């Protein structure tokens, strides 16, 4: 880098031209300028030929990579905040995490609530803001449970786990409302009537499979009803077996409806998933791979006792455990570190590693017209990276919110 870009002027209607950069566009790195106005990435041709306008400000990027902002579909908290536990300070907690995440290049995220008492859902969900000034945007909430299998509960409190008995009626009673929910993780074998998955998808909610003892057939039936995501692949599910590969087998199943992609979150923090497992997933089903942090409240904190949901956790030796046990309960690696670890472990291209944290999650949530790309008319949420994929600066709606 020959220098650091300065934040653009405050006038959001100004035409900003980012020069001396390489853009992640069309699955490749291309040398081109990025044009931004009014919070959007724009096509410069009409500017030149129709408006005959010039940039109000040019930003020299010093040869940096410009990529879409990272999108984290599964994050439980960070910086001392636990989304499931701190129900009396929800707004302040979301604000603190959102403003912290931009340092790791995250511009959009799904705050994730682990299995909790119904009253916690009723209290927390209505209080989660969608926008935070100077922070990453909230795409909607990921409720990870409580309709999971207690045999694969991980760090989820068993006394709060439920079976999905009466479809939407049970969901509404549990969560209070489906408003604001973007992803629901459930164990398909704990759902009495899988048609509820179709109803959720119709309502714009992504159904994920996880914390489950489901065999491959049960996973395929859920996918045929509209489930399109697997929660933290390899973790909290049956291990791969050659006679019944379980949910992992969905990556190579021939029973997925035509035109439907099965996406899967994977934690590339150097702890939860072995590098060989990362390579297996990448080589088996690259189009479905999504990097998630599964970060907990201890993200950004030192060793000690903290909380995740209803359970105490302990951070030691760079890992997070259910206190007093050897059960892993979440990651403390930020997204930019996960991207670097993944690229190094798989030897994938730089562009692919970036798209696994940008384009792929956007496609999974069906928001690729607004997020996850640098296409014209998409939101101007982007990051500047060096060649080692360290975050140099983060922009949201075309405004610089973080500089390294």
Annotated catalytic residue, options 72, 82, 86, 294: 294
Residue 236 annotated in ligand binding: yes
Query: Residues 22, 34: contact at Cβ < 8 Å?
Result: no
Residue 134 annotated in ligand binding: no
CA-based torsion, 237, 240, 241, 247: positive or negative: positive
Polymer length of the chain: 404
Residue 144 annotated in ligand binding: yes
Query: Residues 287, 361: contact at Cβ < 8 Å?
Result: no
Residue 9 annotated in ligand binding: no
How far does CA 24 lie from the centroid of its chain? Answer: 19
Is cis: bond before 146, omega within 30 of 0?
yes
C-alpha closest to that of 142 among 86, 201, 73, 231: 73
CA distance 188 to 40: 39
Q: Which residue shows structure tokens 């904190």? A: 301
CA distance 288 to 255: 16
Residue 390 annotated in ligand binding: no
Residue 249 annotated in ligand binding: no
Residue 323 annotated in ligand binding: no
CA distance 293 to 72: 7
Phi, psi values for residue 198, rounded to 5°: -60, -40
Residue 288 annotated in ligand binding: no
Query: 3-state class of 400 per DSSP?
Result: strand
Query: Residues 391, 42: contact at Cβ < 8 Å?
Result: no
CA distance 4 to 319: 33
Phi, psi values for residue 38, rounded to 5°: 55, 40
Residue 328 annotated in ligand binding: yes
Active-site residue 294, yes or no? yes
Q: What angle do CA 41, 287, 239 make, to 5 degrees?
A: 135
Query: SS3 sequence, 343-371?
Result: HHHHCCCHHHHHHCCCHHHHHHHCCCCCC
Catalytic positions, written as ranges: 294
Residues making up the binding site: 144, 155, 211, 232, 235-236, 243, 272, 328-330
Residue list for the binding site for Zn(2+): 144, 211, 232
């Amino acid at each position: 880098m020959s220098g650091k870009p300065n934040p653009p002027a405050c006038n959001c209607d100004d035409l900003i031209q980012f020069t001396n950069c390489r853009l992640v566009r069309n699955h490749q790195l291309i040398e081109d300028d990025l044009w931004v106005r009014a919070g959007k990435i724009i096509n410069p041709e009409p500017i030149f030929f129709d408006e005959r306008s010039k940039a109000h400000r040019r930003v020299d990027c010093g040869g940096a990579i410009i990529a879409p902002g990272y999108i984290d579909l599964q994050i439980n908290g960070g910086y001392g905040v636990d989304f499931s536990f701190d129900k009396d300070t929800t707004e302040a907690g979301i604000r603190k995490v959102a403003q912290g995440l931009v340092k790791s290049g995250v511009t959009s995220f799904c705050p994730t609530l682990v299995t909790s008492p119904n009253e916690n859902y009723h209290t927390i969900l209505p209080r989660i803001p969608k926008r935070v000034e100077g922070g990453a945007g909230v795409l909607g909430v990921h409720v990870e449970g409580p309709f999971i299998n207690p045999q694969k509960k991980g760090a989820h409190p068993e006394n709060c786990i439920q079976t999905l008995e009466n479809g939407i009626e049970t969901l509404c009673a549990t969560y209070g409302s489906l408003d604001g929910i973007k992803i629901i993780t459930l164990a398909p074998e704990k759902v009495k009537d899988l048609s509820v998955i179709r109803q959720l998808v119709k309502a714009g909610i992504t159904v994920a499979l996880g914390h489950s003892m489901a065999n491959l057939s049960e996973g395929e039936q859920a996918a045929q009803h509209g489930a399109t995501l697997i929660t933290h692949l390899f973790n909290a599910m049956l291990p791969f077996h050659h006679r019944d590969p379980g949910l992992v087998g969905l990556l190579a199943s021939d029973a997925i409806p035509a035109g439907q992609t099965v996406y899967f979150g994977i934690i590339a923090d150097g702890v939860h998933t072995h590098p060989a497992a990362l390579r297996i997933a990448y080589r088996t089903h690259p189009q479905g791979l999504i990097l998630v942090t599964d970060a907990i409240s201890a993200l950004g904190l030192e060793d000690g006792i903290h909380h995740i949901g209803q359970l105490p956790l302990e951070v030691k030796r760079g890992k997070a455990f259910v206190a007093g046990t050897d059960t892993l309960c979440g990651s403390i690696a930020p997204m930019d570190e996960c991207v670097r670890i993944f690229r190094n472990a798989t030897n994938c291209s730089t562009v692919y590693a970036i798209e696994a944290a940008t384009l792929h999650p956007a496609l999974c949530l069906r928001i690729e017209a607004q997020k996850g790309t640098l296409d014209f008319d998409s939101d101007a949420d982007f990051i500047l990276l060096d060649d080692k994929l360290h975050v140099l600066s983060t922009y949201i709606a075309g405004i610089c919110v973080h500089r390294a």
